[in-house]
Structure 1
């Protein structure tokens, strides 16, 4: 296997974090027609069995000359007879001059190597993989090797987390509290104003996680400039602070009130921090973890 250590920018990937000796074949799709590829995309001629592709796994590509390449991606879509795997990263080098050719495609489980002492379970919407949140676990692991991430789903960089379906929210976690893995630390980032409406459900979640772990971290949301949604954001922040007051294991990471920490909010109530907000978020989390070690 060739590893390109010169990869920079959007192609950079910590290949050595994976345990290549423990790969497990999930599905062999056989020969497929490669249409094109790029630094973050693989396009294949559609065939029915490719519907089973799962972004929790790693795509293994073998060329007619026997060269192997590995690719992880965020999502897939079918358009004009082509299945597009998008938002991806190459674990090894990106193939060069490879298009309009036949390749062999399979899916493998590629475990990530973690040998830390602090088990952290990130809990968040299954689509909080964009922007600053996309690489937050990768960044934290690079800064603190004592961290182990746990959960049933792997992010684009292979780090586990606990996803929450976008259309289900906090209620989903309460109903599935027994499926949330035990951890030293839970970090919850649920970016939807809909969650502010049910205090009882938040209390049930806080009770459940307090029994499973040592600490649970919630964060306040930065208010937006001259935005009618600010009233709802204030209600959300107040609710989270009250939940923390009533549960000694629940801690609040304060993001509101910092000049550069802002956000974007969609019409459906979903809320995304800006780059400065994510930077502050990561800084506070790492500080809290360091405090735990001491």
Structure 2
């Protein structure tokens, strides 16, 4: 199968590409390298430097005739979406619509869309189900939710098949300091350099950290599933508070860690844990990386 991966030079995208090539897929990467890196591009993938908002995207689709698209290219920083909501909308919403137009005009079989736990906003009932209310607290979460609505209508109007994956907080090798899971890479660098780590809030806020290799597998499984037009949480279904996370990172690094507490940030969710029952049942997927092992891999890769 021939698969286009947008954002394939990025953190998550590079791992998805690696998984697809392991499964003998023919892979094309589209990335504008605004946050992606040339060093992340797999040598067996065909790389095209292009922005997903480009009017030349359709021409590429007509030429390449993709079977499937995995869409990871996005503006992923919550704080940036609050500072520049127009830019966030331009990249995430208009860029995605441009991509959807290319998909439907060239009869792509399915698009797998990378969404986020940020679509839910602050919730009181955990773990969060795919059917839980969606009340995003950032424009990033809103833009991803808007894209989900576009996907549903494209399927209804044009018959374009899709799967939506709502990621928990992703971490792992090759992660930068941006995005929702970037706190682990930030802490890793601080701990390695012997510097204190800054916690926004009192450290009791929780996240559901999912290893990037497990995310890559979920994307591949989304190409194979017989289920159409569904939304899946991709998570460990486990809460860990930030204080405990830092203690765990101190353990894998064998270093003492100094914590500094600061004011909470606007748009940040307080508690987060996503149910992964639907993904387990319908995607034939489950997380396989224990947190301590994943943290150790991440630490070793970043030092």
The interval holding the TM-score normalised by the smaller chain is 0.3 to 0.5
Q: Which has the higher contact order (CA 8 A, sep 6+)?
A: 2
Between Structure 1 and Structure 2, which shows a larger proportion of helix residues? 2
Q: How high is the TM-score relative to the length of structure 2?
A: 0.42
User: TM-score normalized by structure 1?
Assistant: 0.44
